[in-house]
Chains A and B, each alone.
Chain A
Amino acid sequence: MRGLSKTYPAVRGRRGAPGTPEVRATDGVELDVRRGEVFGLLGPNGAGKSTLVRQLTGLLRPDAGRVEILGHDIVRHPERAARILAYLGQESSALDELTVSLAAETTGRLRGLDVRRARAERDAVLEELGLTPLAGRALKKLSGGQRRLACLAAALVGERPLLVLDEPTTGMDPVARRAVWAAVDRRRAEHGTTVLLVTHNVIEAETVLDRVAVLDQGRVIACDTPAGLKERVAGEVRVELVWRERAPLEVPEVAVLRERAVESGRRWTLRLAPEEARAVVATVTGGAAFAALDDFTLATPSLEDVYLALGGAARQGLVRA
Chain B
Amino acid sequence: MSVVPAEVLPGAVRTLPQTAAPGAAELGPPARLWPSLVAVYRAQLSRARVARIPLLFVATFQSVGITVMMRGVVDSGGEAQSVVAGSSVLVVAYVALNLLSQYFGQLRSSGGLDHYATLPVPPAAVVLGAAAAYASFTVPGTLVTAVFGCVLFGLPLANLWILLAVIPLAGAALAGLGAACGLLAPRPELATLLGQLGMSAALLLGVLPADRMPGIIRLARDLLPSTYGVEAYARTFGADPDWAVVLVDLGVCAGVGVVSLAVATWAYRRAAVR
On A, residues with C-beta under 8 Å from B are: 3, 5, 7, 9, 27-31, 54, 57-61, 66, 68-73, 76, 78-87, 89-95, 97-99, 102-103, 105-107, 109-112, 114-115, 138, 140, 158-161, 213, 219-224, 232-233, 235-236, 271, 309-311
Contacts and interface: CB of A to CB of B under 8 A. Distances in A.
Nearest to A221: B6
Interface string B80-123: 00000000000000000000000000110011111111111100
A232 B40 contact: no
A112 B8 contact: no
Please name the 7 residue pairs, one residue from A and one from B, whose CB atoms are nearest each other, closest first.
Answer: A71-B24, A28-B10, A70-B25, A93-B112, A112-B29, A94-B115, A94-B112
A247 to B, nearest CB: 23
Nearest to B12: A30
Nearest to B9: A30
Contacts of A80: 27
A interface: dominant SS: mixed
Contacts of B28: 82-84, 111-112, 158-160
Contacts of B118: 57-59, 81-82, 85-87, 89
B22 to A, nearest CB: 8
B218 interface: no
B270 interface: no
A89 B115 contact: yes
Contact-residue size bin, chain B (C-beta under 8 Å from the other chain): 35 or more
Given A93-B112, A309-B1, A114 B25 contact: no
Contacts of A58: 117-118, 273
B7 A112 contact: no
B241 interface: no
Contact of B110 (A7, A87, A91): A91
A19 B170 CA distance: 43
A140 B11 CA distance: 45
Nearest to B4: A232
Given A68-B16, A106-B39, A59 B24 contact: no
5 contacts: A85-B118, A94-B107, A97-B51, A232-B4, A311-B3
Contacts of B7: 222-224
A60 B36 CA distance: 24
A9 B23 CA distance: 24
A114 B16 contact: no
A7 B16 contact: yes
Given A85-B118, A93-B111, A222-B4, A98 B40 contact: no
A109 B16 contact: no
A220 B110 CA distance: 28
B23 A71 contact: yes
Contacts of B215: none
A132 to B, nearest CB: 19
B46 interface: yes
Nearest to B22: A71
A161 B29 CA distance: 13
Interface in B28-74: 28-32, 35-36, 39-40, 42-43, 46-47, 50-51
A223 B8 contact: yes
Nearest to B116: A94
B101 to A, nearest CB: 16
A5 B25 contact: no
Contact of B25 (A54, A71, A94): A71
B193 to A, nearest CB: 19
Contacts of B239: none
Nearest to A162: B25
B180 to A, nearest CB: 19
B59 to A, nearest CB: 18
B19 A73 contact: yes
A98 B24 CA distance: 36
Given A58-B117, A224-B7, A309-B2, 14 more contacts: A9-B11, A9-B13, A60-B274, A73-B20, A81-B118, A83-B30, A89-B114, A91-B112, A102-B42, A109-B36, A112-B30, A138-B50, A222-B4, A233-B1
